[in-house]
Amino acid sequence: MAPIIEVKNFSWRYPAFVGNQNPYALDGLNFQVEKEEFFGIIGPSGAGKTTLCYALTGIIPHVFKPQMGKEAEDLKGEIYAFGQLLTKVETVYNPTTGKNEAKIMGMKQTAPRMGLLLQDPENQFLRMDLLHEVAFGMELMGLPPDEIEKRAKEALEIVGLSSLWPMADLIHPSELSGGQKQRIAIASFIAMRPEVLILDEPTSDLDPEGKLSIIKAIDNIRKEYKLTLIVVEHNPEIMLKYADRVLALDKGKMIAYGTTEEVYKDVKLFYEHGLYPSDIARIGYESNLKYNQRVPFDVDEALKAMSGITPNFSNVNLNDEIVKGEKEIINVNNVNFWYEDGTHALKGVSFTIHEGEFVGLIGQNGAGKTTISRIIAGIYKNYKGTVKVLGIDIRDKKIADKIPMYVGYVFQNPDHQIFMRRVYDEVAYGLKNIGLSSSEIEERVRDALTSVGLLEKIDEDPLFLGKGEKRRLAVASILAMKPSILIVDEPTTGQDFRMSEDIMNLMGELNKHGTTILAITHDMTLIAEHTKRVVVMYQGKVIFDGPTRQFFADQDLLDKAAIIPPLAVRLSHAYRQHIDRNAPMLINVREWVQALKPAIKIKAE
């Protein structure tokens, strides 16, 4: 059977209208996508993943065109889709000029046979309500109204938003949470049932349970309607469970290509290129735990690999002491909040954070995490209850305007925060407002950009940064202010493994030097590795506030909060259930390596 997409020695670079030529964003790619397969694309931030998605749909070069006169230099190679030429530069005779000239050949568009869901769903919303947003593509396809209604309702059910159907014609997309927006964008494409569906990080704003349920639903649609799925995704658990084959990119070049097992067993390659390996694979690689001559990928394989090995749990540092000062930095007491549509988002929320704490705020999409954090930051004001920052009620007008001096808030969506047209100016804006000298501003801007790996982008327009880079810019603009309290909403979403670790380690360093941090994240691995305390929310209420290890050890509480714990925690639960019920609850890669490495070394001797 002929491949549905074939890429032959393809290279592309974005045109440079001033200065030196840009490097190739895609460089010499050769691969095929088979019909009806689940094809995964992975790579660190800036690897060329989104650019490749544009190329596979023909957006590059038929919409994003090469520089005039340099077509043959900016674009090389060929791409075929559905057995037809999609993209190629050929030399043709121009009778007007009497010269041979480079011309872009191939299909002008691939829609509706092929669909592309962008990394940021807000960039694709065109209509004023959910019903017409989901129906828009089907209307362009000329489907009859009853079929449009049937498919739209079915698509919302598939993505877990069936509860919105009765009022879908009344809800504007802007009223939804980040996770709900992603679900609506996915539903819009599912309803159209293209032959090839390309998803660029489709679950980045979803909680772990939401990620797996959405991908499972999409994969079921693939099988039922014989679709071909091409998915860009950082999450190794999703790729290992669903992908048939995987292409790994870095700096535009192919660094790995093959079956999912062939690619993911090379953990060293993943570390070298800043890719996300499975937590279980990390444990196997760092402790030398083997399953069938390779690292284990999941809990079952890890348990089988541990047969005959007794972990040295006494070697594990299980210090769960929560480091905090006596001074209350944030006090939230019986806070209730309603949105304009009547949604009761917060229901008697109370918690206290002391000076120097590093607290994780976790829960499902829609649990109320972002709402309470925006109240603390002074963004939402029409709430009931009391919120004190540094001991002062934030309703006090004398302090309300000064909150940004003490509380730094990094939005979940960086586009809601970035507004300057130069990276330097974005970071410098707040510093200028507090009256710092030019030399101090210069130093702080450069330090902040260096800490998030964006110094080389200092003169760029943020408009042209990728979503992951924009998120880092938003973090840098707050870090430069050196706030006493740092609230970060999904700081690592869309980041590669290396950058996620760098951001969390940076926050850890800030915390060691006295900054109080409240981190909102769906990444339970980061919570297990970097926080000692978690506040868990569910349906607008706090259902747990205490040590991170205690929360992850309680399966009933995990189920109640609808939170899927990280693989290292699931391994502990399985080990206690099947091997030793008295074993300690290990919650991260570091602890499992401390327990297994000496035991495996002794067995090998």
What is the mean pLDDT, run by run of 10 residues, along the chain of 605 residues? 94 82 94 97 92 95 89 94 94 83 88 86 83 92 94 91 90 80 87 93 80 86 91 93 97 97 96 93 96 95 94 90 81 94 92 94 91 89 92 79 78 82 93 90 94 89 81 87 88 79 83 90 91 96 96 96 95 96 96 95 75
Decide: 569 and 549 in contact? Cβ < 8 Å: no
Helix (H) / strand (E) containing 600: helix 589-604
Helix (H) / strand (E) containing 28: strand 26-33
Residue 17, pLDDT score = 67
Residue 429, pLDDT score = 93
| DSSP-H helix ranges across 65-167 | 71-74, 130-140, 145-158
Cα dihedral sign, 121-202-499-208? positive
**Angle between helical axes of 423-433 and 438-451 (0-180°, round to 10):** 130
What amino acid is encoded at 9 in this protein?
A: N
- Neighbouring CB atoms inside 10 A of 260's CB total 19
DSSP state of 123: G
Residue 49, pLDDT score = 95
The token pair that represents 3 in the structure block = 């491949």
535/544 Cα distance (integer angstroms): 6
30/113 Cα distance (integer angstroms): 23
Helix (H) / strand (E) containing 84: strand 84-94
3-state SS, residue 417? coil
602/107 Cα distance (integer angstroms): 62
Domains along the chain with CATH numbers: 1-107+228-277 (3.40.50.300), 278-316+568-604 (no CATH), 328-553 (3.40.50.300)
Residue 503, pLDDT score = 81
